[in-house]
Amino acid sequence: MELAGISLTLSAVAWLPSQCLNLEQACVMAGGCWACCRAEVIAGASSAASWPGLLHCLLFPLAEENVMPCVVSQWSVWSGCAEPCKTTYRVRRRHVIQEPRNGGEVCPPLEERAGCVEYWTEQGTECKQYLIPALITTGGFGKARKKRAADDGNERVGYCVEFQLVAITPACLHSHHSYTHWMQYLREGHTVCVECQHPALDSKSLHCYGDGSGSKKNQLLHWQAVGNPRCRGTWKRIRQLDTCSCPSVHSFLFI
């Protein structure tokens, strides 16, 4: 058997107890095997071969000395959105500092992506509202959001927008996590009410991104559910309500 460049045989470790005392240097190198070896002497074993654990103890630590796991760098900062005025992604990366050796732990993923929406063009102008997909979540989230805004003194008067759902992807109906359960209430043809409130309410334009302001009548607008990027679809803007009175089931929130 050849291990870590050293040729070893079973007979080479089949020492008598008296010979075992001469292995102190080798045992220390093997990482604690010396204590095991002495225990064999005290037990009165006729040879080291009578205790298979000694062979394992002497061989495998030598191999473990050369086992090197993969080492990677820290994550880079997140990139900007891949494209403006639409739901895309941003990226962060890390690189390999040391490749794995001799069965060491393999390298983890070197790239991560996250959902992203950029509301400004590369020229520095604001995206047109009807081009931006609305990011929505359950209206129940708004109660906690309003409480935080009031505590911070940032509460502003918002508004609601009614939409008619036109198309919904099947992924909305197959969301089984507790935080995506609300998506199962989305149905084509239903009218939904979406509230715009702080902090989604932009302080300059006094609008939520994706609310469809400026769109033409019956124009198809895009929306996407937060928590499940595959749950998305289209809707038509019906009207804006300055006083919100959304029903509990079909009430949603701009993000």
Q: What pLDDT does 73 receive? A: 92
Domain match, 139 and 209 both: yes
Two structure tokens written together for 26: 């080798």
Q: What pLDDT sits at residue 65? A: 52
Residue 213 makes CB contacts below 8 A (sequence gap 6+) with: 129, 130, 207, 240
Number of independent structural domains in the chain: 3
Residue 124 lies in a domain: no
Q: What 3-state class would DSSP assign to 171?
A: helix
Instruction: Please give the Cα distance from 29 to 60 (Å, whole number).
Output: 11
Domain assignment present for 122: no
Q: Tell me the pTM.
A: 0.49
Asked whether residue 185 is assigned to any structural domain, the reply reads: yes
Q: Look at residue 246 in the predicted model and tell me its pLDDT.
A: 75
- The encoded tokens of residue 242 equal 């300055």
Residues 45 and 138 in one domain: no
Q: Is 93 found in the same domain as 24? A: no
Position 244 in a domain? yes
Which CATH number fits the domain that encloses residue 102? 2.20.100.10
Residue 173 sits in the same domain as residue 231: yes
Q: Is residue 123 part of a domain?
A: no
Q: Which of 47, 64, 81 is the last residue of a domain?
A: 64
pLDDT, position 241: 86
Query: Which amino acid would we find at residue 208?
Result: C
pLDDT along the chain (255 residues), means of 10: 38 41 45 48 48 49 64 90 77 91 86 77 70 75 50 64 90 76 83 85 80 83 83 89 75 81
Judge whether 182 lies within some domain: yes
Do residue 136 and residue 250 come from a single domain?
Answer: yes
Residue 134 to residue 215: CA distance in whole angstroms: 13
Is residue 135 located within the same domain as residue 230?
Answer: yes
Same domain assignment for residues 104 and 165: no
Q: Are residues 106 and 144 in the same domain?
A: no
Residue 93's pLDDT is: 93
182/225 same-domain check: yes
Give the distance from CA 93 to its chain's centroid: 13
Q: Are residues 134 and 225 in the same domain?
A: yes
Do 81 and 108 reside in the same domain of the chain? yes
Which residues span the domain enclosing 32? 2-64
Pair (151, 218) in one structural domain = yes
